[in-house]
Amino acid sequence: MRRSMEAVIGKGVLVLAAFAAWGGHARSDEVAPPPASAAADEREGADADDDDPVPRPRGPASLSPAEIDGAIDRGRRFLVGIQNADGSFGSAERTKDLNIIAGVGSHLGFRAATSAMCVQALIEENDGSEEVLRAIEKGEAWLEEHLPLVRRDNPMLIYNVWAHGYGIQALVAMHGRIPDDAARRERIEGLIRGQFEKLEKYESAEGGWGYYDFKHGTQRPASSSTSFVNAMVLVAFDDARRIGLDPPQRVTQRAVEATREQQLPDFSYLYGSYLRRQPRRGINRPAGSLGRSQACNLAMRLWGDEKVTDAVFEDWLDRLVTRNGWLDLGRKRPVPHESFFQVAGYFYYFGHYYAGRVIEQLPPERRPFYQDHLARIIIDVQDADGSWWDYPLYDYHQQYGTAYAIMTLHRCRRALP
Helix (H, G, I), strand (E, B) or coil at 7: helix
Give residue-wise pLDDT tens across range 289-329: 999 999 999 999 999 999 999 999 999 999 999 999 989 99
C-alpha Rg value of the chain to the nearest Å? 20
> Are 72 and 387 contacting, i.e. CB atoms less than 8 angstroms apart?
no
> Are 138 and 115 contacting, i.e. CB atoms less than 8 angstroms apart?
no
DSSP string covering 182-248: HHHHHHHHHHHHHHHHHHHHT--TTSS--SB--S---SS--PPPBHHHHHHHHHHHHHHHTTT-PPP
Give residue-wise pLDDT tens across range 35-79: 333 333 333 333 445 678 899 998 888 899 999 999 999 999 999
Q: Where do the domains of the chain lie, and which CATH numbers do they carry?
A: 2-410 (1.50.10.20)
Dist CA 19 CA 389 (whole Å)? 14
> Are 166 and 117 contacting, i.e. CB atoms less than 8 angstroms apart?
yes
Peptide bond into 368 cis (omega under 30): no
Closest CA to 222 of 214, 233, 234, 231: 214
Q: Which helix (H) or strand (E) holds 370?
A: helix 367-380
* Helices 310-322/348-361 angle, 10° precision: 140
Alpha-carbon distance values, 403 to 23, 43, 72, 78, 407 (Å)? 15, 34, 10, 10, 6
Dist CA 328 CA 317 (whole Å)? 15
Q: What is the pLDDT of residue 20?
A: 37
Give residue-wise pLDDT tens across range 7-24: 333 333 333 333 333 333
> Are 35 and 329 contacting, i.e. CB atoms less than 8 angstroms apart?
no
Dist CA 369 CA 309 (whole Å)? 18
- pLDDT in single tens digits along all 417 residues of the chain: 333 333 333 333 333 333 333 333 333 333 333 333 333 333 333 344 567 889 999 888 889 999 999 999 999 999 999 999 999 999 999 998 889 999 999 999 999 999 999 999 999 999 999 999 999 999 999 999 999 999 999 999 999 999 999 999 999 999 999 999 999 999 999 999 999 999 999 999 999 999 999 888 899 999 999 999 999 999 999 999 999 999 999 999 999 999 999 999 999 999 999 888 988 888 889 989 999 999 999 999 999 999 999 999 999 999 999 999 989 999 999 888 888 888 888 899 999 999 999 999 999 999 999 999 999 999 999 999 999 999 999 999 999 999 999 999 999 998 755
Instruction: Look up the pTM and report it.
Output: 0.88
> Are 111 and 89 contacting, i.e. CB atoms less than 8 angstroms apart?
yes
CA angle at 16 for the pair 170 and 207, rounded to the nearest 5°: 55
Dist CA 364 CA 42 (whole Å)? 32
State the average pLDDT for the chain. Answer: 88
Dist CA 200 CA 217 (whole Å)? 17
Dist CA 201 CA 209 (whole Å)? 10
Q: What is the pLDDT of residue 73?
A: 98
83 alpha-carbon distance from chain centroid: 21
